[in-house]
Structure 1
Amino acid sequence: MAVLIDPPAWPAHGTLFSHLVSDASLEELHAFAAAQGVSPRAFDLDHYDVPAHRHAELVGRGAVAVTGGELVRRLTRSGLRVPARRRPAQLRPVLHRRWRRLFEATEARAEAVDALGTALLERWSEPHRAYHGLEHLLGVLEALDLLEQDGARPAPDPRTLRLAAWFHDAVHAGDPTAPPGRDEEDSAALAEQLLADPALALPAQAREQTARLVRLTADHRPVPGDHAGELLCDADLEVLGRSPEAYARYTAAVRREYAHVPEADWVRGRAAVLESLLAPDVLYRTAPARARWEDQARQNLTAELTALRG
C-alpha cells in the first residue's frame, strides 16, 4: 500500500501533469498531498493532478514512481478508481442514452421523452446531493443489469423496473426532520404525475407499477415473490457491498449531504439506520445479490456501526 505517481504525460495549461494516487485509501492520499503542499483544487475524484516540475520532488518525499499502466491497475484493484463513465462530464450523456433506450420500441414522442429525461437529470443534479446524485442513479441502473446477467429472476416488465430506478430518488429534500418515507412518497407522486403525459404513451398499469416500486425503496422490504421489488431494492443497496474503500467514499458523501445535522444527532440517526439494515437474517433478497454483496455489506455496516459507537 503506497502513494503512487506516474510519469508526467498529460498536457494542460502549457505543461505536463502526473497523477498522484493511493492504492490504500483516500485518507492516505489527502494526508500526503496536504503534507507536500499540493492544492486541494488539484484533486479529481480519485487522484491529484501535479505538474511535471514536482514529479521528482514528490518521489523524493515518498511517492512511488510507477508507469501509467501500473498506476491504473493498482488503483483499480484498490476499489478507489472512478471509471470514466462515472465522471461528471460523462454521467449526463451516459444516463441520457439509457433514458432514451427505455422508449425506443414505443410510440412515445421523442421530444417528450427528451424533455422528461432532461428534467429528471436536473433533479438528480441538485447541488445539495453529495451521494443521491447522478452517480448513484447510474450505480442502481448498472446493478440491475448485473443482477439480470447473473441470472436473477426477471421482473415482469424490465422497462417499468428501470423507470422506478429513475424516479426512486427524484425528490430528495435532505431534510432530517421530515417523516420517514416522505421523499419516496413524493418521488412516487412525481412519477404518477409526469409519466401520465399522453406523449409518452405509457399504459396506466406501468405508471402505477413504477410508483409502487418507488415507494418500496423507503424501507427496502418487498414482500416475498415481488421480483421487481426485490431487484430494485437490492440494486439500491448495492453500494453497501462495495470494497471497504469504496464504502468509505459512500459514507463520506452521505455525511456531506447531511453536513447541516449536528454530529451527535448524526451518530444517533446513522446508527439506527445501520442497525435496521443489519437486523434481518439477509440484507439482499435475490440470490445473485447475496452472492455478490451480502458478506462484504455486513462487514462494512458492522465496521461503521462499531466506529460510530466508539
Structure 2
Amino acid sequence: MPALITWWTQDLGELSPRADPVAVAAAGSDLLRRWAEPQRRYHSARHLVELFWALEELEDAHEIDAEGATVGRVAAWLHDAVYDPQARHGANEAASAGLARSLLTRLHVHDQVSAAVEAVIRMTDGHDGDDGASLTRCFHDADLWILSAPDVRFDDYCAQVREEYAHVPDVAYRTARAGILVDFVRRDRLYLTAHGQQEWDEPARANLHRELDRLG
C-alpha cells in the first residue's frame, strides 16, 4: 500500500509543515497496520480508499474545498483506527477520537484542525450530528457512501459486516442490524450534502430495503 502512505505523508505535510517526516511516516505505517488487523472485514483499507474516493467526488461537486478535503482524508485514516467488533457501543469511536487528538498533537497539527478531526470521528457514532460545517456533512456522507454502492459491492459490504460480527448469534444479529438500517431508512435526509442527497440517496434506500428484506 505505498500509495496510501504517500497520500498520508502529503496530507500531513500540508497540515503540519514542521512535523518530523520520520514521525509522520511511522504514524502512517502504524495506521496502515491497524487497518490490516485480522478482525476487520469491512473496516479495512478498502473502506478507507472508498472514503477517499467519496470525499474526492464531494470536492469535485464543490461541497468541500481542497483544504477541507485534506482534513477529511486525515480524519478518514483515524476514524476507525481503533476497531474491535466486540467493544461496547461507542467505544471504538471514542478510542479512535482520543488516538487522533493525541497523534495529531504530537505531529504539531494545529489544535483547531485536531479538534475538527476529533469531532467528525465522534460524529460517526450514530451518524446523527450536523453542526453545519462542510467537513462534518461531507465526512458524514462519505462514510455512508457504501450504502449507495452498486448492488454487488453493497451485498459484499453486508456480508463483510456479518463476518465482523460472527460472534453474535444469527437472530440477535438480524434484529440489531435491522434496527440500525431502519433508522437510516426513516431519516428525511440520509445524506447531508446536496450532492449526496441527489446522487446517493435513491440507490442507498433501494439497497437498504433490499437488505432489510433479507434480514427478515
Q: TM-score, normalised by structure 2?
A: 0.94
Deviation at 1:207, TM superposition (A): 1.3
Cα displacement string for residues 219-273 of structure 1 (whole angstroms, at most 9, x for unaligned residues) = 1123252211110010000011011111111101111111111101110111011
Q: Are 2:206 and 1:295 equivalent residues in the alignment?
A: no
Q: What is the RMSD of the two structures over their aligned residues, measured on CA atoms?
A: 1.5
SS at match of 1:102: helix
Q: Is it true that 1:174 corresponds to 2:85 in the alignment?
A: yes
Q: Matched residues, percent identical?
A: 36
The code of the aligned residue for 1:236 comes to: D
| Structure with greater Cα Rg | 1
Distance 1:221 1:155 in 2: 25
Q: Which has the higher strand share?
A: 1
Instruction: Give the superposition deviation at 1:155.
Output: 7.8
Hey, what does 2:62 align to over in structure 1?
151
- Aligned residue pairs: how many? 214
User: Structure 1 regions of 5+ residues with no counterpart?
Assistant: 1-91
Residue 43 of structure 2 corresponds to: 132
Per-residue deviation, 1:159: 2.8
Residue 280 of structure 1 deviates from its aligned partner by 0.7
Q: Give the aligned residue type for 1:298.
A: R
Per the alignment, residue 147 of structure 2 pairs with: 240
Instruction: Tell me if 1:141 matches 2:52.
Output: yes
Give the letter for the 2:182 counterpart.
Answer: E
Q: Could you say if the C-alpha distance between residues 98 and 156 of structure 1 is closer, same or farther in structure 2, counting changes exceeding 3 Å?
A: closer
Alignment check: 8 A CA contact 1:154 1:228 kept: no
Whole-Å separation in 2 of the counterparts to 1:155 and 1:169: 23
Q: CA deviation at 1:98?
A: 1.1
Is the CA contact 1:155–1:227 (under 8 Å) kept in the aligned structure 2? no
Q: CA deviation at 1:308?
A: 1.1
Q: Is 2:8–2:28's contact at 8 Å kept on the other side of the alignment?
A: yes
**CA deviation after TM superposition for structure 1 residue 173, in Å:** 0.7
Please tell me the residue identity of whatever aligns with 1:160. V
Equivalence map 1:105-120=2 (5 Å): 105=14, 106-120=17-31
> 1:194, CA displacement in angstroms?
1.5
Aligned to 2:109: 202
Query: Residue 75 of structure 2 corresponds to which residue in structure 1?
Result: 164
Query: 1:266 aligns to what SS in structure 2?
Result: helix
Question: Counterpart of 1:259 in structure 2: which amino acid?
Answer: A
Is the helix fraction higher in 1 or 2? 2
Of residues 288-297 and 146-155 in structure 1, the stretch that sits farther from structure 2 once superposed is: 146-155
User: Higher relative contact order at CA 8 Å, sep ≥6: structure 1 or structure 2?
Assistant: 2
Matched, 1:264 2:175: no
Q: Residue type of the partner of 1:161?
A: G
- Asked if structure 1 preserves the Cα contact closer than 8 Å seen for 2:59 and 2:66, the reply is no
Please report the TM-score for the alignment, with normalisation by the length of structure 1.
0.66
- The residue that corresponds to 2:97 in the other structure is 188
